C-alpha cells in the first residue's frame, strides 16, 4: 500500500475506469450536510442534517447517484421532534440511514433535546415511527448490522469513537459503551461509520472540525472493537491544503457499494467563488460525490485527486428526475418536501393553501430573530446565481404588521424585503440583521396592496427589487453576501429563503397572500 500511495501522491499511479461518466458536483445543492446513504436494489436513499429546521432530516431518492429528488422527511410530527426554543444550529445533527431485511433504520441526535434516538419505516418517504431513545451524550450515531445478527451502535464520545451492541426493539445498549478508537489524523474524531467489507471492519471518521481543516480518515480491524490500524494514506480525503479552490470543507462521508461491485462515497463540502476559492460562502455544506477504488485493502477516493465541480467516474445508469414542480410550495399532505419552517410546523391560522397553489400567511408575535417559531416558509439557496420572487397582496391594518420575503442564515444574520405598517404609514423596506446590528437599508412609502418582490444573487451580492409588476421593478438595495456567510454567522446551516409574516409583538389581524412564488437558477 505504501508504494501505491506514493504513486498517488506523485501522480504516477493511473487508476483506469471503464466507460467513464461525467457528472457535476455537488449532487445535492444547498444546505444538505452530513450525508448518509443506503442502497436497496437499484435505488439509493440519502439523509442529511436539518438542525433547527422542521420537518427534521430531509430524505432524497436517486437511481444513479447523480440525480436526486426530495421525497420527504423522517421527523414530521412534533411527537417525534420538538425544537421550540432551540438556538440556531442546534437541533438535529448528522443522521445515519441504513436498510436491513425490509426495514429502513435512521439514527440521529436531537442536540439540546432527547439525545440519540432511532426511527424506522418500511418506506423511506414515510411515515416513520415514533422515536426509540438510545442514550444522551455526544452525537453522530451510526449502525452496523453484522453477519451474525449483532447490531453495533457507534458514535462520537468526547473527541473519540465509542461503541456498544444495541437492541433495536428497545434502544437498550446490550454491552457497556466503550472506546474503540482515537482520531487517526488529528485530536478530534466524529461522524463514525462502521462497515464490514471482505471480512475486515472499517471505521470511517470525520476529523479536523467541519471547516477548512475538515477531512475523512479510515482505519481497519479484524474485530469490530478494534484496535483499528490507521490507513497509511490518511486522510483519504481533504482540501485543507487546496487554497484557493472552488470546493472547501470536504469531509464527513459515507461509503456505498453498487450492485456491480463498484464503490462510491458521498460527503459534504462547500462551494466558493472559483475566481478566489478562499472566501465567503453562503449555501452551506452541500452533498458531493466521488468514485472509490480499493488498493491493497484501502479505499482511494477519486484516484487521490482533488474533488472538482466537474467529475468523471465509472459508468452509472443515467436517471434524471422531472424537476418541473420545484417551485410548488404545497403537495397533497402539506408543504412540498423542499420547503421547511423554523422549529415547528405552522398552524392552520398561520399558513394555509390558496386555491391557486399560493399561500396565505398570518404573522404571529415573533420575528426571525431569536429562538422562536416565526411564520416563515422557506427553501434552500441552491445556486450562487439565482432569482427568487413572489407577488404579495398585503394591506397591514395595525402598527408593526409586516410581510415579505426573507433570506436567513441564522437567528442573528438575515435580510428582509417587506411591506410594513409603521406609525407614520405603510412602507416598502429592506432591513438587515447582522449579529448585533439591525439596519434599515431602504425605506419608501407604499400606497397599494399588491407588490412584486424580487431578490437576485451572485457570488458577491444580493440585490433587492420591488414594483407593481415584474416588468416595473426598482432596485432598493444591494447587500454583500458576506453578511449571510457561514464565516460571519459561524452557524452550520446555509441560507434559506421564502415568504414570511410577522406581527412584531402581537398576532396580526391582516393576512398576506403570496402567489407566483418562483426560484430560478442562473448558473
d(CA 148, CA 188): 31
Query: How many of the other CB atoms lie within 10 Å of CB of 200?
Result: 14
Closest CA to 359 of 503, 520, 500: 500
Q: Rounded to an integer, what distance in angstroms lies between the CA atom of residue 75 and that of residue 467?
A: 39
- Residue 27, Cβ neighbours under 10 Å: how many? 23
Report d(CA 463, CA 368) in Å as an integer. 20
C-alpha span between 453 and 473 (Å, rounded): 8
> Rounded distance, CA 65 to CA 443, Å?
47
Contact 48, 28 (CB under 8 A): yes
Q: For residues 309 and 259, give the distance between their C-alpha atoms in angstroms, rounded to a whole number.
A: 26
DSSP 170: T
Strand partners, 431: 416, 440
Beta bridge partners of residue 450, listed in sequence order: 393
How are beta strands 496-502 and 379-380 bridged, if at all?
A: antiparallel
d(CA 335, CA 357): 11
Place of cell 422549529: 343
Query: HSE (CB half, 13 Å, CA atoms) of 143?
Result: 28
Alpha-carbon separation of residue 115 from 50, 92, 109 (angstroms) = 15, 9, 5
Cα 111 from Cα 137, distance rounded (Å)? 9
Q: Three cell numbers at 184?
A: 487517526
Backbone phi, then psi, for 487, in 5-degree steps? Answer: -60, -30
Instruction: Give dist(CA 66, CA 360) in Å, integer.
Output: 35
Exposed e or buried b per residue across 46-68, where buried means at least 16 C-beta atoms within 10 angstroms of its C-beta: bbbbbbbbbbbbbbbbbbbbbbb
| Residue 357, all three cell numbers | 397553489
> Residues 355-378, buried b or exposed e (16+ Cβ, 10 A)?
eeebbbbbbbebbbbebbbbbbbb
112-122 in b/e form (b: 16+ CB < 10 A) is ebebbbbbbbe
Catalytic residues: 34, 190
What letter does residue 486 receive in the DSSP assignment?
A: H
Amino acid at each position: 500500500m505504501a508504494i501505491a500511495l506514493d504513486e498517488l501522491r506523485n501522480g504516477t499511479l493511473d487508476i483506469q475506469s471503464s466507460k467513464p461518466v461525467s457528472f457535476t458536483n455537488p449532487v445535492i445543492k444547498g444546505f444538505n450536510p452530513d450525508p448518509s446513504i443506503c442502497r436497496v436494489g437499484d435505488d439509493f436513499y440519502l439523509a442529511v442534517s436539518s438542525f433547527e429546521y422542521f420537518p427534521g432530516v430531509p430524505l432524497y431518492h436517486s437511481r444513479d447517484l447523480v440525480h436526486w429528488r426530495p421525497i420527504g422527511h423522517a421527523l414530521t410530527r412534533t411527537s417525534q421532534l420538538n425544537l421550540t426554543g432551540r438556538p440556531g444550529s442546534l437541533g438535529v445533527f448528522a443522521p445515519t440511514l441504513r436498510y436491513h431485511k425490509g426495514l429502513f433504520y435512521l439514527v440521529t441526535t436531537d442536540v439540546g433535546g432527547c439525545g440519540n434516538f432511532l426511527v424506522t419505516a418500511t418506506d423511506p418517504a414515510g411515515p416513520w415511527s415514533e422515536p426509540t431513545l438510545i442514550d444522551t451524550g455526544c452525537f453522530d450515531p451510526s449502525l452496523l448490522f453484522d453477519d451474525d445478527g449483532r447490531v453495533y451502535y457507534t458514535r462520537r464520545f468526547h473527541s473519540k469513537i465509542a461503541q456498544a451492541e444495541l437492541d433495536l426493539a428497545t434502544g437498550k445498549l446490550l454491552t457497556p459503551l466503550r472506546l474503540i478508537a482515537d482520531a487517526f489524523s488529528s485530536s478530534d474524531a466524529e461522524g463514525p461509520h462502521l462497515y464490514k467489507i471482505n471480512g475486515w471492519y472499517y471505521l470511517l471518521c470525520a476529523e479536523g472540525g467541519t471547516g477548512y481543516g475538515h477531512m475523512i480518515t479510515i482505519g481497519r480491524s479484524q474485530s469490530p472493537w478494534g484496535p483499528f490500524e490507521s490507513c497509511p494514506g490518511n486522510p483519504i480525503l481533504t482540501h485543507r491544503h487546496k487554497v484557493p479552490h472552488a470546493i472547501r470543507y470536504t469531509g464527513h462521508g459515507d461509503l456505498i457499494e453498487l450492485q456491480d461491485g463498484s464503490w462510491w462515497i458521498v460527503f459534504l463540502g462547500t462551494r466558493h467563488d472559483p475566481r478566489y476559492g478562499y472566501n465567503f460562502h453562503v449555501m452551506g455544506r452541500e452533498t458531493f460525490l466521488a468514485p472509490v477504488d480499493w488498493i491493497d485493502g484501502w479505499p482511494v477516493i477519486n484516484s487521490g485527486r482533488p474533488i472538482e465541480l466537474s467529475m468523471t467516474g465509472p459508468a452509472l445508469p443515467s436517471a434524471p428526475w422531472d424537476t418541473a414542480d420545484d417551485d410548488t410550495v404545497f403537495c397533497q399532505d402539506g408543504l412540498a418536501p423542499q420547503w421547511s419552517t423554523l422549529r415547528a410546523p405552522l398552524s392552520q391560522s398561520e399558513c394555509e393553501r390558496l386555491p391557486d397553489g399560493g399561500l396565505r400567511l398570518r404573522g404571529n408575535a415573533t420575528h426571525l430573530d431569536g429562538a422562536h417559531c416565526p411564520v416563515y416558509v422557506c427553501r434552500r439557496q441552491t445556486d450562487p446565481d439565482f432569482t427568487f420572487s413572489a407577488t404579495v397582496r398585503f394591506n397591514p391594518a395595525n402598527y408593526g404588521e409586516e410581510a415579505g420575503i426573507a433570506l436567513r442564515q441564522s437567528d442573528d444574520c438575515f435580510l428582509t424585503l417587506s411591506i410594513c405598517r409603521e406609525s407614520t404609514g405603510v412602507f416598502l423596506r429592506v432591513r438587515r440583521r447582522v449579529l448585533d446590528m439591525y439596519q434599515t437599508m431602504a425605506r419608501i412609502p407604499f400606497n397599494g396592496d399588491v407588490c412584486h418582490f424580487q431578490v437576485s444573487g451572485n457570488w458577491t451580492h444580493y440585490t433587492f427589487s420591488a414594483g407593481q409588476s415584474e416588468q416595473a421593478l426598482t432596485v432598493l438595495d444591494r447587500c454583500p453576501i458576506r453578511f449571510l456567510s457561514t464565516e460571519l454567522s459561524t452557524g452550520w446551516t446555509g441560507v434559506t429563503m421564502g415568504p414570511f409574516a410577522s406581527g412584531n409583538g402581537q398576532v396580526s389581524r391582516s393576512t398576506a397572500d403570496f402567489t407566483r412564488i418562483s426560484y430560478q437558477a442562473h448558473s
